[in-house]
Every structure is written in C-alpha cells, then in structure tokens.
Amino acid sequence: MRTEEKIQEDVKPFSQSERTPKTPFIFPRKAVLWFFLLLLGIGLGIYAIFPEPKNQEDQLIALITRIENGEELPSGEMRDYCHLLYVLRDSISPQCVCVLDGINWDNPPKSPEKLPEVWEFFEREKNMGNRKFFRHKRYPKIVIGIDIKDSNGNEKPHWHRENPNSISHKDEYLDKNCNPVKRSSPPSHIYVRTKK
C-alpha cells in the first residue's frame, strides 16, 4: 500500500504538488542610485567637453571680426555670415548677394524657367518683356530681372542684378562679379549665352 501511495503522490498534478516558497522582490535601491549617478556624471562630462553654443548675434560678431582682420572665410562660413547679416541687421552687401543668389553668372540661365525653384516672379512687374524675380521670401531684397531687348533696342536676352544697397542710378545694378555698376552700362547687362 505504501508503494501505491508514493506512486499517487508522484502523479499529482503540478498545482497540487508542494511548491518552494518565493522570496519577495526587493527593489535594488543602491543599483538605481548608482545608475542615476553614472548618468549624471556622463551628462556633466559632455557639458564640460563641448562648448556652450553661441547665440546668433555672437556668431555674427565673431565672423565680422574675422573679416575685418583680413581673413577670407570659407564658403560655408561666408554663407552663414551673409545669412546672419541679413536676418539680424537687415543688410545685404554686394558680396552677400553673390553668395546667396545661387546663380552662376558666368553662364546665366537662358530663361526664367531655368531659374532654381527658390526664385519667385514679381507679379506687378510685367512690361515690354522685362520681368523681375526675387530670391524667395527668405531674401526678398535679392532681385534680378530679365530683359529681351538691350539698351539699343536689339533683341538680346540679358539679366540685370539689382544692388540692394543702391543710392542712385550710378550703383543701381551689380555686374557678374558683384561690383556695383550704373544703369545702362555694359557690365550691368549679363547676356545669356547662345549656341553658335
């Protein structure tokens, strides 16, 4: 009989068999504290290694100082300088027009349709083949115009680049090298290349 009882005990379902009592889960406070301190140390280390980001005005002042000291800025920093100068001081120098307009004036677009997407048409400017475009809402002071006829009335498509700092008709336009030139002067006409 005893052997039959032992066999029946061995065959008992798992739910009825004796279980070992579980120990209650204790939250490891020290481990959490050490993990928090480790994260805090990493954060302070990163803060100490990397300099505090400059605000835009400080960046502009630093770039102006470098330019005044005769340093030639790389193209990326020159673009930053021109952008910050426009955003913070509402000013665009002729050199900045060249940096920000994004057009190769040695080989200008053959038509307004060939302009990059950032150029928008001045709706009010539409007379006798002369059309003006501005450099998007971001730089509305950068303006170019295409004219079908030259100053002698010959049909020669050409571009004009307006000087945003113009004081009179003597410096109304920029030539292809960003130098201020007077209205109707030959350098103020940037002709479209035609295939021969």
Nearby residues of 189 by Cβ (< 8 Å), 6 or more positions away: 150, 151, 156, 158, 159, 160
Cβ atoms of residues 156 and 149 within 8 Å: yes
In degrees, to the nearest 5, what angle opens at C-alpha 146 toward C-alphas 145 and 152?
115
What pLDDT, on a 0 to 100 scale, did the predictor assign at position 138? Answer: 85
What pLDDT, on a 0 to 100 scale, did the predictor assign at position 136? Answer: 79
In the predicted model, is pLDDT for residue 14 greater than 70?
no
d(CA 24, CA 43): 35
What is the average pLDDT score of the chain? 82
In the predicted model, is pLDDT for residue 66 greater than 60?
yes
In the predicted model, is pLDDT for residue 180 greater than 90?
yes
Record the pTM: 0.64
Counts for the chain of helices (H) and strands (E), in that order: 5, 7
What pLDDT, on a 0 to 100 scale, did the predictor assign at position 127? Answer: 54
* Mean pLDDT calculated for residue range 176-180: 92
3 state SS of 154? coil
Considering only CA atoms, give the Rg of the chain.
36
In the predicted model, is pLDDT for residue 6 greater than 80?
no
Cβ atoms of residues 82 and 100 within 8 Å: yes
3-class SS string, 2-45 = HHHHHHHHHHCCCCCCCCCCCCCCCCCHHHHHHHHHHHHHHHHH
Could you report the per-residue pLDDT of 161-171, keeping only the tens digit for each?
999 989 998 99
What pLDDT, on a 0 to 100 scale, did the predictor assign at position 172? Answer: 93
